[in-house]
Chains A and B, each alone.
Chain A
C-alpha cells in the first residue's frame, strides 16, 4: 500500500509546485487517505475525477498523449492552456504579463521530460520578408530561453520561424498586426 501511495504524494508536490488551487490538492489528499475504504466503483470514479482535475500534474516521465494531452491543453485551469505570447513591432522582448505563461510551460516540460514541443515564431506583415523570418526566429528563441530557465530541456524544444508567412489574423491594421506578432507553443496532439 505504502508503495502505491508514493506516486500520489509526488503528484501532490507537483501540483503544489504548479500552483493549483489548494482545494483541488486537498481533494486529492482525501482521496488517497480514503483509498482503503473505497469500493472498486468509487475508486474508478475517483480516478476519473483526478484525471479530470489535474491530469497535467502527473509526474509521468512520459509525454502526455491523446485525451490526457487534450485535457491539459484545453482546460482553462491547466498551466499550459495559454500557448501564445505576443510582441511589439520589431521586438523579441517577452512582455511581463506573458512571463507566467512561459514559466508554467517551462515547469510543465521539466515535469514531463519526454514531452516535446515546437516553438513557432511569427511576425506581422510589415517590412522585409527575410528580416521578418529572422525576427520570428529570434522571438521563438526568446521564448525558448525562458522555458529552459524554468527547467525545460533543450532537447524538448524545437524552434521554427515562419516570419510573416503564417498570419492568424488577416487585414492590414494594428489589431491584426498585434495578433500576428507572436510565438506559439505547439504540443503535438
Chain B
C-alpha cells in the first residue's frame, strides 16, 4: 500500500462541492479510505485559460475516490501535467506508483464545450479509452460522471453508478417546529433540490424504475399515507389512504405495481398495489408484522421484514406471497432489506455488537458482513451497480448519510450544515 493511502485512512478529507448552494449544500467527507484500491492519476484537464463552469478532472477524481475502489493520486504529487497521450512521460507516472493515468481537456466551443479524454495504461503506454464529446453547459457535470463511469467499467469490468441520484429526507428543527423536505440530489451530493416540504414526517422515498417518480409516506394528514410524485412536474397522487397503516412502498421492477404495507384488514401485511388502477392484492397473510418489502430484480421474489419468528428477521416469498422462507438468522434483529440489483446480496439493518449497524448478506455464500460502525445506522439502499450502499447514520448527534463500498469498505459521509438527513434511496441508473 502506498504511504499516501495510509495517510488518508482515518483522516478526514472534506471535499467542498460547487459553491452557491448555501444552506442546502451537501458536503462529502471521506471517513475511511479503501484498502486495495487501484492507484490512478487524473491529470488536470487542459483548457484555453478561461474560467470553466465545471472542473471535469476534479469531478472524476472525487468520484473515483468516493467509490472506494480507486486511490487517485493527489494533485500536489504530480511531476508534470500532460493533457494528451503524446505528451505523457510514462516513467514519471510509474515512479509515482500509479497503474493508470487519465489525461484530457475541456474547451469552450461557442455556447457548448468540447471535452476529450484518454485513459492510459502506465506500464504498457497503451491507450485503453479515448473519446471526445460536445455538450452544453448544463450537461458538463453529467458528462464528467459519464467519463467516470467509463473509466470505472473499463478498469473494473462492472458499470459505474456516478450518473445517478439520491433521494432523502432533510429535517430543519427550530423552536420546536420541524420542517421535513423530500430532496433529490446527484449521487455526489451536488445540486440538492427539494421536491416536497411538510410540517409532518416524510419517510420511505422509493424511486420508480424509470427514475421519473418517487413514492413516499407522508403524515401530512396526521396518519401514514402513500403518495406518488412526478419529480419533474411536482404532480402527485395519494395512492394509498386506507384505514390503518399505509407504508413502505417498493416499486416492482416493471414499474406497474408497488408493494405496500397495509393494516386495513386487521393485521399488518404486504399488498400489491396497481399504480394505474389503485387495485390491491394481498400478498402476505400473517398475524405478525410483515413490512418493508423489496422486490428481487427479476420481479419473481419479494424480500420483507417479519417478526413471525418472535423477532424481526428477513424473509423471502414468491411474487404472489407464497412459499415464504426465512433468510436471516444472524442475531435477533434484522430489518429493512434492500436487494442488490444483481439479486445476489441483501443489505439490512442489523442489531450487532455496536447497536444498529448496516450488514450485507451474500445470498450465495451466506457470508454475513457488518458494513457500518453503528450505533444508529438504518435505511440501507444499494447503488444501481451494487458496489456501494447508502444509509442513514449519525455524526455528532445529527442525522447524516453514509456510503460504504462493498469492495474495500471505504466510507463517506454526506452532511448538510444545520439539518438532519435520513431515509436515503439511491436511484436506478
Contacts and interface: CB of A to CB of B under 8 A. Distances in A.
B340 interface: no
A78 interface: no
Contacts of B312: 90, 127-128, 131
Given A128-B378, A131-B336, A166 B305 contact: no
Chain A facing B: main interface SS: mixed
Interface in A154-182: 159-162, 165-166, 172
A134 B289 CA distance: 7
A169 to B, nearest CB: 14
B261 A129 contact: no
Contacts of B289: 131, 134-135, 138
Contacts, number: 84
A61 interface: no
Nearest to B336: A128
A57 B289 CA distance: 38
Nearest to B337: A128
A134 B245 contact: yes
Given A128-B305, A133-B291, A134-B289, A161 B349 contact: no
A172 B397 contact: yes
Contact of A131 (B219, B292, B394, B422): B292
Contact of B292 (A130, A137, A161): A130
A126 interface: yes
A133 B311 contact: no
B268 A137 contact: yes
B356 A126 contact: yes
A92 B37 CA distance: 47
Contacts of A160: 222-223
A75 to B, nearest CB: 27
Nearest to B246: A133
7 contacts: A126-B376, A127-B335, A133-B203, A133-B247, A134-B261, A137-B245, A172-B397
Interface of A: 90, 125-131, 133-135, 137-138, 159-162, 165-166, 172
